[in-house]
Amino acid sequence: MQQTLKKQFIRCSISIVFFVILTLIIVLNALNFKHIAIHTENVLDMIIEDTREISNKPVNIIPIPTIPIMANSYSFGHFIIKLDNLGNIIDFNTELNYSISEDTINSYVNQIMTSQKSKGIIDQYNYAVFSSGDVTNIYFLDCSLEQTLFYTFLKNSILIGTIAFIAIFSLITIYSKKVVRVISQAYDKQNQFITGVTHELKTPITIIKGNAEVIGIQEGHTMWTKSIIEQSNRLNSLIDYLISLTKLEETTSINKEEFDISELMTESCLFFTGVAKSKNKIIDYEIQPNLFYEGDIQNIELLISILLENALKYSEAQSVIHVKLRHIKGKNTIIILNKTQNLDIREYEEWFDRFYRADSSRNSDSSGFGIGLAMAKTIVLNHKGNITAESLDGKTVMIKIIL
């Protein structure tokens, strides 16, 4: 029990930590990227503005604005390409000591003219297109340093996030035992109490029932002796259910063996068919043949019996209970449907809680303790499966088990 709680606690905690760290990395890098993008765009606008102001003067070198992004300002490499109205290159200006091949320039021009975008990014360059009369200027700003800084920040943030995740994972693993121990001890004490009480109740209930039967034999059964015997039987059934549920919840491992689950389902349905007829109900089953499963055959048989008994108990009079077994996506899927009343269209997770009974949504005339589905859930979880209950139309209950 403690190991199961520990694993669940670690899994839940680590999932939250991973999500938080991943979110921080994404947000920080998104903000950093946005900051760099806005800054380089502003620099490009400054270059365009400076160029337009001195466009009537013969210039070979464009003044380079300084960038106040770091304590020590640095300059961006840039160049300008002038095109005529036919798209031919008529001039090319670059800053001093900044070189770029003619083939690269022609390739960039072709890509920009084809895309017809006024702004964009090509390789490590941000570009902007500005037309004036028959002349089109294409301004290129070298952002290779900014790209390097961005990817460096990205790598460092991932590295720091990974180290933090490993450190937090280690701490959670170390201290999880202490956190879980308190819950586990309380749960174990609860189970010990239930087990002790049920065993103590067995003897007096048996005596009460026996005395009532003796009185009935000697003096004849009355409504009082019959009621005592009936309620004694109910209490004995409740005790047996509680003992079985406690044992199932304390199980840390199951006896696995491969068996024909199709045959087991068919036999169970045939057995309950007679019970259904006595209640004017029908069990309609569709079992895919030759399906095998590796698990505890006794527990799976108990699971099927609980679900069929539950469906018969809470279904409408003269209704049909549909039972299906299919092999879907590599797993055995059991579906049980029965008609009932006063349901909301939603999932009903609370049905699998101990002692849960909702008379407004289930037949109040049916006897039960609200333990059967709790046992069913425990069996399924012990087999690493999943069980759900829901109503799709407010009139039909569907219980689905995936093993």
The CATH number of residue 104's host domain is: 3.40.1840.10
Going by pLDDT thresholds of 50, 70 and 90, the confidence category of residue 96 is low
Q: Is residue 62 part of a domain?
A: yes
4 C-beta neighbours (distance < 10 Å), count: 14
Here the tokens at position 128 are: 């902007």
Average pLDDT along the chain? 81
Domain boundary among 149, 167, 182: 149
Is the pTM higher than 0.85?
A: no
Residues 6+ apart with CB under 8 A from 187: 1, 5
The answer to whether 307 and 376 are in contact (CB under 8 A) is yes
42 C-beta neighbours (distance < 10 Å), count: 12
Q: Is residue 105 part of a domain?
A: yes
Q: How many domains does the chain have?
A: 2
- CA 169 to centroid of chain Cα atoms: 20
pLDDT of residue 386: 92
pLDDT of residue 115: 83
Q: Is residue 219 part of a domain?
A: no
What's the rounded Cα separation, in Å, for the pair 82 and 332? 70
Q: What DSSP letter does each residue of 70-133 carry, written as one string?
A: SSS-B---EEEEEE-TTS-EEEEEE-TT----HHHHHHHHHHHHHHT-SEEEETTEEEEEEEET
What's the rounded Cα separation, in Å, for the pair 354 and 362? 16
Could you give phi then psi for residue 164, rounded to 5 degrees?
-65, -40
Going by pLDDT thresholds of 50, 70 and 90, the confidence category of residue 402 is very high
Closest of 327, 274, 270, 348 to residue 304, by C-alpha: 270
Does residue 323 or residue 54 have the better pLDDT? 323
239 C-beta neighbours (distance < 10 Å), count: 18
pLDDT of residue 225: 86
What's the rounded Cα separation, in Å, for the pair 49 and 87? 23
The predicted-structure confidence for 356-389, as pLDDT tens digits, reads as follows: 766 544 444 455 556 788 888 888 988 889 999 9
Residues 130 and 261 grouped into a single domain: no
Does residue 105 or residue 304 have the better pLDDT? 304
Does residue 188 or residue 161 have the better pLDDT? 161
Residue spans of alpha helices (H) in 138-294: 144-219, 223-250, 261-278
As a whole number, mean pLDDT of residues 223-231 equals 85
Q: Is residue 309 part of a domain?
A: yes
Could you give phi then psi for residue 270, rounded to 5 degrees?
-65, -40
Domain boundary among 100, 116, 149: 149
Let me know if 114 is exposed, middle or buried by CB neighbors in 10 A (0-12, 13-18, 19+).
exposed
Percent of the chain with pLDDT over 90: 24
The answer to whether 284 and 320 are in contact (CB under 8 A) is yes
Does residue 182 or residue 334 have the better pLDDT? 334
Going by pLDDT thresholds of 50, 70 and 90, the confidence category of residue 269 is very high
Domain boundary among 149, 178, 199: 149
Let me know if 186 is exposed, middle or buried by CB neighbors in 10 A (0-12, 13-18, 19+).
exposed
- CATH number of the domain that residue 316 is part of: 3.30.565.10
Does residue 53 or residue 217 have the better pLDDT? 217
Residues 141 and 276 grouped into a single domain: no
What's the rounded Cα separation, in Å, for the pair 43 and 146? 12
Q: Is residue 299 part of a domain?
A: yes
Q: Is residue 176 part of a domain?
A: no
Residues 8 and 137 grouped into a single domain: yes
Q: Is residue 278 part of a domain?
A: yes
As a whole number, mean pLDDT of residues 313-340 equals 90
What's the rounded Cα separation, in Å, for the pair 267 and 283? 12
Does residue 165 or residue 239 have the better pLDDT? 165
Could you give phi then psi for residue 282, rounded to 5 degrees?
-125, 140
Could you give phi then psi for residue 399, rounded to 5 degrees?
-105, 125
Write out the residue range of the structural domain in which residue 282 sits. 257-402
What's the rounded Cα separation, in Å, for the pair 238 and 235? 5
The predicted-structure confidence for 97-147, as pLDDT tens digits, reads as follows: 567 777 888 888 888 888 888 888 888 888 888 887 788 888 888 888 888
What's the rounded Cα separation, in Å, for the pair 78 and 83? 17
What's the rounded Cα separation, in Å, for the pair 282 and 319? 7
As a whole number, mean pLDDT of residues 28-35 equals 93
The 3-state DSSP composition of the chain as helix, strand, coil percent (nearest 5) reads 55, 20, 25
Q: Is residue 263 part of a domain?
A: yes
Element (H, E) at 374: helix 372-382
